[in-house]
Structure 1
Amino acid sequence: MTSTTSGMTGGGPMGSSGPTFDPYDNTPELIPLRTAAQAGDWPAVRACFAGLGSVDRISSASSLLADIAGVEGFLERAAAESPADPLPRTLLAERYVYIGWDIRSGARAKDVSQDQFSQFHDWLRRAERLLIEVCAEQPSYAPAWTTRLTTARGLQLGQAEARRRYDRLSAHHPHHYRAQTQLLQQVCPKWGGSWEAAHGFARECATGAPDGSNSAAVVALAHIEHWLDLPSGEDAAYLRGVPVRDDLRFAAQVSVLHPDHRPDWNSVGAHSAFAFAFSLGGHHADAAPHFAFLGDRATEYPWQYLPDQRSAFLGFRKAALESRGGGAR
C-alpha cells in the first residue's frame, strides 16, 4: 500500500544513523493517535481526529491508523455505537483494505494465488459496503472517497469507475494529494491503464494545482512507476533522458521548490519522490535541494523499490551534496 507521510517545516539534521522511514519519527504529532489506537481507546482516537482540521491531515492519519494491527476490533465497536458518524466506518473500511492487501501482498497478479485473491476481495467488499453508505450520506467526505479509489483498484472496477470516484472527491476537495497518488496507481499499465494515461494525469495534477502545492510531485511518481516497469538497462536510460529531467525540473519548481510552498504532512513524500527520480537519473545537483529538505527523513514509497533503501538514500544524498559543493556529512 501506498501511504502518505509527513514533512516538518524544514530539513531535519543529517546524522550517521539516518535516514528514518518511520512516519511517526517524521510526524511526531501523530504519536498520541498511535498510542490511543494501540490501547483501543476510541474516545481518544476520535479526539485526535477532531483536532486535525484539514482533509489532507485526516487522510494521512487514517492511512497510518489502518496499518496498526488489531484496531479493527475497537473500530467495529465504535461504528456500531455511533452509526451516524462517518469517521469510525471510514477508518474501519480502510483497516479492512489494509488487511486484504496484506493477504494479497504486493506481488504482481500472476504471482498471487486464487485463495489470496478470494480473501483479498472479500475484505475489500466489506470495506466497500461501509464506504458506499458513508458516501451516500456524506457526498463530500474525502477520506471515504479516497479509500474507495483503493477498493476500486483492488476489485478491478475499471478505469472509468475509478475516475468517477476521483472526480466526485475532487469536486469538493481539488488537488487532494493522497487521492492523486492513489488514482495514479490505477491509471498505470499494471492496473489496466497506460503510460499515456499515467503521464497525462500527472501533468493534469501539476498544471491544475496552485503553485506551491504538492500535486506536481505526481509527475515524479509517474516517471518512477514507468522506470520500474522497464527492462534492466532501459530503466536507467529512461530517467537519464533530457525530456524526463526537464519534466521533473518543471514539476519541482512549481511545487515543493516554489516560493509559495508551505511544508505540510505530505512534503517528505513529495521531496522523496523528486530526490529518488533525480538521483536514479544521475541528476544529482537537481536532487540536492530535495535532500537538503529531507535531512534524515524519508518515506517508504518510493524508496521501497530499491533493494537496500537505506544505503541507496545515503549514497544518493552524498552524491547530491557533493554535486553542490556541500561535502558528505
Structure 2
Amino acid sequence: MPPGGDPLAAQLIAAGKAGDWRTLTDLLAPIDHPDDHTFYLKIAADVGGAERWVDDWVAAEPRSPLPLLFKGAHAIFWAWEARGGGRANTVSENAFKLFFKRLTLAENCLDDVTDRDPDLPVVAHLEQWLDLGDEGPAYLRSAEVRASLHEAADRSVRHAEYVRRPRWPNYHNEFAMAFALSQDWAAAADQFDLIGDLVTEWPWQYLNGRQPDVPFLRWRTRTYQELGR
C-alpha cells in the first residue's frame, strides 16, 4: 500500500494486480494535471505481471496513448526487476542483456506515444527518467542541467502559488535527489528540510531498488555535512 493510504493509488494497484485494464483506463484517463498523471501512472505500472496482459489493452484501445504509456512505464520497472538493485559489478551478463532488452521495449513504446501526441507532458517525464541511466549523476552536475533544475523548481515546488497536491512528498523527494546528485547542496538542503522523514520510494528506488530509504539517508547526511550542519 502506498504511504498515506491514498485511495486512488490503492485502486490502481488493485486493478493492476487483477489485470483489469478497463478500470485502469477509468481511473487514469480523468487525471489531467501532468504531475499527478505521471505519479499515478508510475504507481499503476509498478505491478508485477502486467507484461502478460498489457498488450490486450493496447489492442483494445489502438487510438489511445494511455495503454502504450502504461506499457512503457511498466517495461522500465520490469527492466529493473531483471537487473536488480545492486552495483553494476554484481549484475550478471544475462541480467544486463535482459535489462537492456526491456529498456528498449520501454523506449519504443514511448517513441510510439510521442509520434501520436508529441505534446503529451507525461512522455517527457518518462523519457527523461529512462535516459538518465548510469550517466545520471554526471549529467545532473552540468551547469546547464543545474540551471534547468532551478528553473523547474521555481515553476513548481518553490513557486509562490505552489499548492501541495496528492503525494506532495514525491515532488520534493525528486528535487532533493536531483539537487543532491548535482551537488547543489544548498538547494538540496532546502528540499530535505521540507521533506523531513517523509521519504518516498520514487525516485530513491532508482539508486537502491530494495531499500530506497538507504540512499535517501546517505544523501541527506552528506548534504548537511557539506553545509556544516
Q: Same fold (TM over 0.5)?
A: yes
Q: Aligned residue for 1:36?
A: 15
Deviations 1:170-190 (A, max 9, x none): xxxxxxxxxxxxxxx75423x
Alignment root-mean-square deviation, CA: 3.6
With over 3 angstroms needed to count, the CA separation of the structure-2 counterparts of 1:287 and 1:124, relative to structure 1, is: closer
Query: In structure 1, how many angstroms separate the alpha carbons of the residues matched to 2:116 and 2:193?
Result: 44
Query: In structure 1, how many angstroms separate the alpha carbons of the residues matched to 2:212 and 2:9?
Result: 22
With over 3 angstroms needed to count, the CA separation of the structure-2 counterparts of 1:81 and 1:210, relative to structure 1, is: same
Residue of 194, 201, 207 corresponding to 1:290:
194
Q: Aligned residue for 2:227?
A: none
Query: In structure 1, how many angstroms separate the alpha carbons of the residues matched to 2:124 and 2:216?
Result: 34
Q: How many residues align?
A: 205
- Percent identical pairs in the alignment equals 23
Task: Confirm or deny that 1:139 pairs with 2:83.
Answer: no
Displacement after TM superposition at 1:200 (Å): 4.3
Q: Aligned residue for 2:162?
A: 261
Residue of 148, 151, 154 corresponding to 1:204:
148
Q: Aligned residue for 1:107?
A: 86
With over 3 angstroms needed to count, the CA separation of the structure-2 counterparts of 1:203 and 1:83, relative to structure 1, is: same
| One-letter code aligned to 2:200 | T
1:216-235 maps to which residues of 2 (within 5 A)?
A: none
Gaps of 5+ in 1: 1-21, 155-184, 215-254, 314-329
Deviations 1:201-237 (A, max 9, x none): 233221x2474612xxxxxxxxxxxxxxxxxxxxxxx
Task: Confirm or deny that 1:56 pairs with 2:5.
Answer: no
Q: Aligned residue for 1:304?
A: 212
Deviations 1:99-147 (A, max 9, x none): 1111112333333221111111111122222222221111112333332
Report if aligned partners of 2:2, 2:10 keep a CA contact under 8 Å in 1.
no
Q: Aligned residue for 2:208?
A: none
Q: Aligned residue for 1:25?
A: 4
Report if aligned partners of 1:90, 1:134 keep a CA contact under 8 Å in 2.
yes
Report if aligned partners of 1:211, 1:260 keep a CA contact under 8 Å in 2.
no
Q: Normalising by the residue count of structure 1, what TM-score does the alignment of the two structures yield?
A: 0.52
1:265-280 maps to which residues of 2 (within 5 A)?
A: 265=166, 267-272=168-173
Gaps of 5+ in 2: 205-210, 221-229
Task: Confirm or deny that 1:94 pairs with 2:43.
Answer: no
Q: Normalising by the residue count of structure 2, what TM-score does the alignment of the two structures yield?
A: 0.72
SS of corresponding position for 1:126: helix
Displacement after TM superposition at 1:98 (Å): 0.9
Report if aligned partners of 1:134, 1:144 keep a CA contact under 8 Å in 2.
yes
Displacement after TM superposition at 1:70 (Å): 1.4
